[in-house]
């Protein structure tokens, strides 16, 4: 009985069994589309004014912008249609179909990973507020429903085993997406969240967990940035591009080679993660590596508290056992749990969380905003004076739209054959590649105009870089879009003309290393612009899985 509407340039973002309606909007225009929906609601007098008056702050400022009183441009469906590539009629029908229904507005994780990525995230909440849906069962607003997968689940009634996060005594920081900027521009200022900060001069980087040569943008620039370091230390399970760029690689165990406890706050199954196989070669648990470093620094006792890995797991599990005992439930000791292998935890009754509590009592259960209400517009953000992030949701055209040189939108989304870039060398990931390359998907009309056929090796390029991929043709996408998922391990080469490119198909050789805005300085790598052509000539070998020698490291 639930109606799904997918607003995306790619139809496969929802599975066919959802029987959804597909609105193939231009990439990056979600804010304009949602503005049009709210404009239609307001024009029809169908917005929930009582909810807005009681639960929201800053509506009047936003409404001045929405209706064009502040800038002379009403943000109606006729205005949004050419921006979004969705007809005015269809936008009006969608807006009116939401009235009187229970509506859940979901914004994907990817929307904030683009220029002005804060705007659609904010605007989605405003749309839900205009409909009066926030805090209602099955309705309201959700960020990253598919990615984070907590929405609609109950919380466990007892704590899961986890290390305390601790507190970093070093208060200086940068937004994580500004790594290259920091290393290449020490001492230079940058804006962030209303503050003017200074990039520090970093001489040593220590990377344990994560793979920047997967998730960062403009990988050639990132490589140049890491070369400014005196020392680069990396923990890794395999020869990823990050490990190849390191001065010191400390081999660490993978999940199957270590012991742990698997748990999340919303999953009732607590799992004893036994070691399946002995560590390979010189691989060691990260914890043991850090213990040895702590010992050399004279801080082993403070760091380890006298516990090895198994003892830490038993110590952390005790919180769970005590919680079970406090509820009068079976509370096995650690050895019993470890031998049994799993434990089902009780869960709390669903109370609807902070939004339900806020809806029931906005005074007694305020939100963590300056006003305690839903912040439709923000005087705080307005005071920052950022032209690329005003004090309310707004349509801000992209600084890098498609042009005659690079006419196609690049959608660099997550892969379906691996988690990010993990185990790209594995059989499941390898089975999806063709001629050893990652697969990019194009509309048949766009491919035909370029003389590209199914299975051809193509070169994607722009002013940032280039890569090779295998072409797959599919009509279930916009003609002006090419999709190349992230995750292929970076394999830099020079082509016959001496131009740098990735032989394997990593899209982050094409993405621009710019922040989403001065407010958040987040990653803007989800969208880019490219041209695509057939690759002519012999194919270069894939070298990225070959262990390097000291003289062949990148």
Task: For residue 501, list its beta bridge partners.
Answer: 493
Per-residue confidence (pLDDT) for residue 300, from 0 to 100: 97
Among 482, 450, 415, smallest CA distance to 9 is for 482
The angle at the Cα of 444, spanning 439 to 449, to the nearest 5 degrees, equals 105
pLDDT value of position 104:
95
Residue 552 pLDDT more than 60?
no
Burial 228-252 (b: 16+ CB within 10 A, else e): bbeebbbbbbbbbbbbbbbeebbbb
| Percent share of the chain, pLDDT over 90 | 89
Coil, helix or strand at residue 61: helix
Query: Nearest to residue 492, comparing CAs of 174, 225, 218?
Result: 218
Write out the H or E segment, with its range, that includes residue 189.
Answer: strand 189-192
How far is the CA of 109 from the CAs of 143, 238, 532, in angstroms? 7, 28, 27
Q: Compute CA distances 348 → 2, 139, 150, 268, 354, whole Å.
A: 26, 20, 14, 10, 15
Neighbour tally for 260: CB within 10 Å: 16
Q: What is the DSSP letter of 284?
A: B
CA distance 501 to 503: 6
Alpha helical stretches, state H, 219-308: 219-226, 241-244, 286-296, 300-304
What is the rounded radius of gyration, in angstroms, for the C-alpha atoms of the chain? 26
Residue 550 has pLDDT above 70, yes or no: no
Name which of 165-179, 249-263, 285-299 the model is least confident about: 165-179
Residue for token pair 């193509």: 458
Q: Rounded CA gap, 273 and 255, in Å?
A: 8
Percentage, residues of the chain above pLDDT 70: 99
Q: Please report which confidence band the pLDDT of residue 539 belongs to, taking 50, 70 and 90 as the band edges.
A: very high
Residue 308 has which token pair? 């090895």
Selection from 91, 3, 106, 5 nearest residue 40 by Cα: 91
* Residue 140 clears pLDDT 60, i.e. is over it: yes
For residue 473, pLDDT beyond 70: yes
**Predicted pLDDT at 167:** 86
Comparing CA positions, the residue from 483, 463, 356 lying closest to residue 406 is 463
Say how far apart CA 179 and CA 185 lie, in whole Å. Answer: 10
Q: Is the pLDDT of residue 274 over 80?
A: yes
pLDDT band, very low/low/confident/very high, at 42 (cuts 50, 70, 90): very high
- Residue in 388, 379, 406 with CA at minimum distance from that of residue 516: 388
Average pLDDT of every residue of the chain = 95
What is the rounded distance in angstroms from the CA atom of residue 426 to the CA atom of residue 428? 6
Residue with tokens 């990653």: 523
Confidence (pTM): 0.94
User: For residue 151, is pLDDT > 90?
Assistant: no
Round to the nearest angstrom and report the end-to-end CA distance of the chain.
55
pLDDT in tens, 347-398: 998 778 899 999 999 999 999 999 999 999 999 999 999 999 999 999 999 9
The H or E element spanning position 456 is none
- Which fold is adopted by the domain 408-534? Barwin-like endoglucanases (2.40.40)
Residue ranges of the domains in the chain? Answer: 5-152+352-384, 176-202+252-344, 408-534
Q: What is the pLDDT of residue 547?
A: 87
The pLDDT of residue 350: 76
Q: Distance between CA 202 and CA 329 in Å, rounded?
A: 52
Q: In whole angstroms, what is the distance from residue 507 CA to residue 487 CA?
A: 9
Region of 392 (left: φ > 0; alpha: ψ -120 to 50; beta: rest) is: beta
Evaluate whether 284 touches 237 at the Cβ level (below 8 Å). Answer: no
Superfamily in which the 5-152+352-384 domain is placed by CATH = Dimethylsulfoxide Reductase, domain 2 (3.40.228.10)
| Predicted local confidence at residue 551, as pLDDT | 58
| Sheet architecture: strand order including 248-251 | 204-208, 231-236, 248-251
**Residue 101 burial (C-beta neighbours within 10 Å; 0-12, 13-18, 19+):** exposed
* pLDDT tens figures, 480-491: 999 999 999 999
**DSSP structure string for 269-335:** EEEEE---SPPPTT-B-HHHHHHHHHHHTT-HHHHHTT--HHHHHHHHHHHHHHHHHHTTS----HH
pLDDT (0 to 100) of residue 154: 86
- For the record, the structure tokens of 192 come out as 């962030």
pLDDT, residue 493, reads 92
Fold match flag (5-152+352-384 vs 408-534):
no
Beta strand 481-483 with 21-23: parallel, antiparallel or unpaired?
A: unpaired
Confidence tier at 161 by pLDDT (50, 70, 90): confident
Is pLDDT above 60 for 168? Answer: yes
* Residues 359/55, Cβ–Cβ less than 8 Å: yes
Residue 553 has pLDDT above 60, yes or no: no
> What is the rounded CA–CA span in Å between residue 479 and residue 408?
8
pLDDT at residue 510, rounded to an integer: 96
* pLDDT for res 497: 76
Model confidence pLDDT, tens digit, residues 490-529 = 999 987 777 789 999 999 999 999 999 999 999 999 999 9
């Amino acid at each position: 009985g639930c109606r799904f509407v997918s607003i995306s340039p790619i139809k496969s973002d929802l599975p066919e069994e959802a029987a959804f309606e597909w609105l193939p909007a231009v990439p990056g225009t979600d804010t304009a589309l949602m503005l049009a929906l709210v404009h239609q609601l307001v024009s029809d007098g169908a917005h929930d004014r009582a909810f807005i008056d009681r639960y929201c702050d800053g509506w009047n400022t936003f409404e001045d912008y929405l209706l064009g009183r502040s800038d002379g441009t009403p943000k109606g469906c006729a205005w949004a249609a050419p921006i979004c590539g969705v007809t005015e009629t269809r936008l009006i029908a969608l807006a009116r179909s939401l009235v009187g229904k229970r509506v859940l507005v979901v914004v994907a994780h990817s929307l904030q990973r683009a220029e002005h990525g804060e705007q659609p995230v904010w605007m989605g909440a405003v749309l839900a507020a205009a409909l009066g849906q926030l805090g209602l069962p099955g309705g309201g607003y959700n960020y990253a429903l598919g990615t984070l997968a907590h929405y609609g689940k109950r919380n466990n009634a007892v704590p899961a085993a986890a290390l305390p996060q601790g507190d970093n005594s070093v208060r200086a920081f940068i937004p994580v997406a500004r790594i290259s900027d920091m290393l290449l521009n020490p001492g230079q200022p940058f804006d962030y969240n209303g503050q003017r900060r200074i990039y520090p001069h970093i001489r040593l980087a220590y990377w344990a967990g994560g793979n920047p040569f997967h998730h960062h943008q403009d990988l050639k620039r990132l490589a140049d940035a890491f070369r400014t370091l005196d020392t680069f230390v990396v923990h890794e399970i395999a020869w990823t591009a990050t490990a190849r760029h390191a001065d010191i690689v400390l081999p660490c165990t993978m999940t199957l080679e270590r012991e742990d406890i698997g748990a999340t706050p919303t999953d009732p199954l607590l799992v004893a993660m036994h070691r399946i196989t002995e560590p390979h070669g010189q691989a060691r648990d990260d914890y043991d590596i850090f213990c040895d470093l702590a010992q050399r620094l004279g801080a082993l006792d403070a760091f380890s508290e006298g516990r090895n890995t198994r003892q830490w797991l038993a110590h952390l599990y005790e919180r769970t056992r005590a919680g079970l005992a406090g509820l009068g439930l079976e509370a096995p000791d650690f050895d019993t749990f470890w031998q049994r292998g799993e434990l089902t935890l009780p869960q709390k009754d669903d109370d609807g969380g902070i939004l339900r509590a806020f809806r029931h009592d906005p005074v007694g259960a305020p939100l963590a905003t300056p006003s305690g209400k839903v912040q439709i517009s923000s005087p705080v953000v307005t005071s920052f004076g950022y032209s690329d992030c005003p004090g309310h949701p707004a349509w801000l055209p992209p600084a890098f739209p498609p042009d005659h040189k690079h006419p196609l939108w690049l959608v660099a989304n997550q892969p379906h054959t691996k988690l990010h870039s993990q185990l790209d060398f594995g059989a499941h990931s390898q089975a999806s590649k063709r001629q050893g390359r990652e697969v990019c998907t194009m509309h048949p009309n766009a491919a035909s105009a370029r003389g590209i056929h199914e299975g051809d090796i193509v070169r994607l390029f722009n002013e940032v870089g280039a890569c090779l991929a295998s072409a797959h043709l599919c009509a279930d996408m916009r003609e002006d879009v090419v999709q190349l998922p992230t995750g292929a391990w970076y394999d830099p080469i020079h082509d016959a003309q001496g131009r740098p490119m990735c032989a394997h198909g990593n899209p982050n050789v094409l993405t621009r290393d710019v922040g989403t805005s001065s407010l958040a300085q987040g990653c803007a790598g989800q969208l880019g612009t490219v041209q695509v052509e057939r690759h002519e000539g012999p194919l270069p070998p894939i070298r990225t899985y070959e262990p390097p020698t000291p003289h062949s490291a990148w």
